[in-house]
């Protein structure tokens, strides 16, 4: 018997103390087990029951139980959800009881895997679900929701339908002799191909923002010692992530803080001040800073005096002078943003500038979200673009078939164990 036929259980909420915890059970034995551990006689689909959970005549907890009748459940199997009190002792006791009754602890993502296997969701929605659970920012949530709610599946379906139709027409033409070929039909097919190309290109273009939405941006904070770098990261983090003193060379190692700016994930890295190092620790820190500058999408250069030339090789940067609150003369310097981490003056302007430098503004929300989707669609595009009117019909049909095969692959759940393993690796137990 396949291991995916076992009845499984798992805690679906995080471990630790909480008011309520949810334990999920899925598989053919769900109902039998439920009846063994509660006094519930009659179960109605998707109806909650307040009951005492008991085993061997001993009460474990007072819980709410919800039963989902196959196939109208998340996994498509018989399912029970137990909402118990969230203490470690209760969760352990329930788990122990379920194990005793022959249930197996679910693997990470196994509930979702079963849902996919039972056609409750498709592969693209599975990825969407994983991204939704891992979403940290509003943009990540919205991108994941597009996949989960079927927006991406619909797009791929439409492309597949168009490709199938174009392929069928081309194959039908193969049987015609040249003279019998309906007039203009070939140019019409090529026109349709152009339209598909346009549609796919548009989505690939819209997806340029998907990777930054998913991975976020890295922003390094660099400059000479004592220029106010650590005070700035603390100010925008609204907590003390980095040590601040008036001793030059305070920061020796890198300090990271993730900040959500208008739904985008930005990882700020405070670094060791760039100067001739005084000791080995500082030397390592300065080396690290140089590597971070190379890896970051943008560098915030904190200036001491007018050492701008030192940073001319850094491509993407914003020049900053801090400690505006101490400034007496009101003179403004060109291309330098002035801020104070003490009063917050100028910080909003700086954050706006950071966003402008990093984020390409675009009208449309992306549909293609993962690199896997974008790569496959690029391959489809390559195939379609290689089709020329002078190609024989056999060759044209071959290329359409190849494009369709690639496009179908995006949402195919079979024979792709490796893809599934990659996807489910990101899931937690209980999902
Ligand atoms: N008045 C004023 N003082 C500031 C401001 N920002 C930083 N300082 C002070 O400047 C000194 C150095 O600040 P840090 O934030 O540690 O500077 P840093 O660039 O991280 O220095 P290193 O880690 O040594 O490279 C401290 O005494 C801070 O209190 C500011 O906006 N206004
Ligand atoms: Mg510092």
pLDDT classification of 290: cutoffs 50, 70, 90:
confident
- Matching fold, domains 3-119 and 216-358: no
Distant-in-sequence, close-in-space partners of 371: CB < 8 Å, separation ≥ 6: 211
In this structure, what token pair is assigned to residue 244? 């601040």
pLDDT at position 183? 67
CA distance between the termini of the chain: 23
pLDDT at position 419? 63
pLDDT at position 10? 97
Burial class (CB in 10 A: 0-12, 13-18, 19+), 315: exposed
pLDDT at position 184? 83
Task: Check: CB of residue 13 under 8 Å from CB of residue 22.
Answer: yes
Claim: this prediction has a pTM higher than 0.75: yes
Cα-to-centroid distance, 253 and ligand 2 (Å): 9
- Picking from 257, 258, 262, 271, the residue whose alpha carbon sits closest to that of residue 220 is 271
- Picking from 346, 350, 321, 326, the residue whose alpha carbon sits closest to that of residue 336 is 321
pLDDT at position 251? 87
Residue 48 φ/ψ, nearest 5 degrees: -85, 150
Residue 80 φ/ψ, nearest 5 degrees: -130, 135
pLDDT at position 178? 67
Q: What is the mean pLDDT of residues 291-306?
A: 93
pLDDT at position 414? 64
Mutation test residue for ligand 1: of 220, 244, 304, the one with most atoms within 8 Å of CB: 244
pLDDT digits (tens, 9 = 90+) for 96-142: 999 999 999 999 999 999 999 999 999 999 999 999 999 999 999 99
Three-class secondary structure of residue 217 per DSSP = strand
pLDDT at position 417? 64
Cα-to-centroid distance, 232 and ligand 1 (Å): 8
pLDDT at position 252? 84
* Residue 77 reports pLDDT greater than 70: yes
Cβ of 285 less than 6 Å from ligand 1: no
pLDDT digits (tens, 9 = 90+) for 202-255: 999 999 999 889 989 999 999 999 999 999 999 999 999 999 999 988 888 889
Place of tokens 């001993």: 58
Q: Which CATH class is domain 216-358?
A: alpha beta
* Residue 257 reports pLDDT greater than 70: yes
Angle subtended at Cα 341 by Cα 340 and Cα 342, rounded to the nearest 5 degrees: 90
Q: What is the mean pLDDT of residues 66-94?
A: 96
Cβ of 369 less than 6 Å from ligand 1: no
* Residue 383 reports pLDDT greater than 90: yes
CA 99 to chain centre: 34
pLDDT at position 282? 73
pLDDT classification of 420: cutoffs 50, 70, 90:
low
- What are the DSSP calls for 144-172, one per residue? HHHHHTTHHHHHHHHHHHHHHHHHHHHHH
- Picking from 323, 331, 327, the residue whose alpha carbon sits closest to that of residue 227 is 323
Cα-to-centroid distance, 136 and ligand 2 (Å): 27
Instruction: Print burial letters for 373-408: b (CB count within 10 Å at least 16), e (below 16).
Output: bbebbebbbebbeebeeeeebeebbbbbbbbbebbb
Round the average pLDDT of the chain to a whole number and report it.
91
Residue 101 to residue 95: CA distance in whole angstroms: 10
Residue 219 to residue 222: CA distance in whole angstroms: 10
CATH label, 149-209+370-411, candidates 1.20.120.430, 2.170.140.10, 3.90.420.10, 3.40.50.2300: 1.20.120.430
Rg of the chain over CA atoms, in angstroms?
A: 29
pLDDT digits (tens, 9 = 90+) for 203-213: 999 999 998 89
Largest CA distance in the chain: 88
CA 83 to chain centre: 28
Burial class (CB in 10 A: 0-12, 13-18, 19+), 30: buried
Q: What is the mean pLDDT of residues 406-411?
A: 92
Residue 203 to residue 366: CA distance in whole angstroms: 7
- What are the DSSP calls for 241-263, one per residue? -S---SSTT---S-EEEEEEETT
Position with higher pLDDT, 331 vs 381 = 381
Give the percent of the chain with pLDDT over 90: 71
Mutation test residue for ligand 1: of 228, 243, 250, the one with most atoms within 8 Å of CB: 228
The CA distances from residue 327 to 321, 336, 361, 428, in Å, are: 10, 14, 35, 52
Cβ of 229 less than 6 Å from ligand 1: yes
Lowest mean pLDDT among 11-15, 131-135, 153-157, 169-173: 169-173
Q: Which CATH class is domain 3-119?
A: alpha beta
Task: Check: CB of residue 229 under 8 Å from CB of residue 223.
Answer: yes
Give the percent of the chain with pLDDT over 70: 96
Q: Are strands 217-223 and 298-302 parallel, antiparallel or unpaired?
A: parallel
**Which DSSP helix (H) or strand (E) runs through 61?**
strand 58-68
pLDDT at position 336? 95
pLDDT at position 421? 72
Position with higher pLDDT, 331 vs 342 = 342
**Ligand 1 atom with minimal separation from the 322 CA:** 31
pLDDT at position 404? 95
* Residue 200 reports pLDDT greater than 90: yes
DSSP 367: S
* Residue 327 reports pLDDT greater than 90: no
Position with higher pLDDT, 418 vs 102 = 102
Place of tokens 């739904």: 263
pLDDT at position 39? 87
Q: Whose CA is nearest to atom 21 of ligand 1?
A: 226
pLDDT at position 148? 94
* Residue 181 reports pLDDT greater than 80: no
**Which DSSP helix (H) or strand (E) runs through 71?**
none
Per domain, the residue ranges of the chain are: 3-119, 149-209+370-411, 216-358
């Amino acid at each position: 018997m396949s291991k995916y036929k076992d009845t499984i259980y798992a805690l679906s909420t995080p471990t630790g103390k909480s008011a309520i915890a949810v334990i999920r059970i899925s598989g053919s034995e769900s109902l039998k087990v439920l009846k063994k551990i509660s006094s519930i006689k009659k179960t109605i689909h998707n109806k909650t029951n307040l009951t005492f959970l008991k085993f061997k005549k001993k009460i474990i907890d007072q819980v709410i139980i919800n039963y989902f009748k196959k196939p109208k459940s998340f996994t498509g199997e018989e399912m029970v959800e137990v909402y118990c009190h969230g203490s470690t002792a209760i969760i352990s006791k329930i788990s122990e009881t379920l194990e005793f009754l022959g249930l197996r602890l679910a693997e990470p993502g196994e509930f979702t895997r079963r849902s996919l296997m039972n056609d409750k969701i498709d592969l693209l929605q599975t990825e969407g679900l994983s991204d939704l659970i891992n979403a940290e920012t509003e943009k990540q949530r919205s991108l994941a929701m597009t996949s989960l709610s079927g927006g991406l599946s619909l797009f791929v379906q439409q492309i597949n339908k168009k490709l199938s139709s174009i392929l069928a027409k081309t194959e039908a033409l193969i049987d015609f002799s040249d003279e019998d070929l309906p007039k203009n039909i070939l140019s019409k097919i090529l026109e349709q191909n152009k339209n598909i190309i346009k549609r796919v290109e548009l989505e690939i273009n819209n997806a340029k923002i998907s990777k930054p939405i998913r991975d976020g941006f890295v922003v390094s904070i660099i400059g000479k010692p004592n220029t106010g770098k650590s005070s700035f990261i603390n100010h925008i983090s609204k907590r003390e992530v980095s040590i601040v003193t008036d001793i030059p060379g305070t920061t020796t190692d890198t300090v990271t803080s993730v900040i959500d700016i208008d739904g985008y994930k930005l990882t700020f890295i405070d670094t060791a001040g760039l100067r001739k190092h005084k000791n080995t620790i500082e030397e390592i820190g300065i080396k690290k800073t140089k590597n971070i500058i190379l890896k970051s999408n943008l560098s915030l250069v904190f200036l001491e005096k007018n050492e701008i030339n030192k940073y001319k090789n850094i491509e993407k940067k914003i020049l900053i002078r801090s400690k505006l609150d101490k400034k007496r003369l009101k003179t403004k310097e060109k291309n330098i943003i002035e801020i104070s981490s003490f009063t917050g003056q100028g910080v909003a302007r700086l954050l706006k500038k950071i966003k402008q430098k990093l984020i390409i503004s675009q009208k449309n929300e992306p549909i293609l979200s993962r690199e896997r989707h974008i790569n496959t669609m690029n391959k489809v595009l390559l195939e379609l673009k290689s089709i020329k009117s002078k190609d024989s019909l056999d060759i044209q049909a071959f290329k359409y078939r190849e494009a369709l095969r690639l496009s179908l692959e995006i949402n195919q759940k079979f024979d792709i164990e490796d893809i599934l393993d990659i996807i489910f690796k990101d899931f937690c137990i209980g999902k």
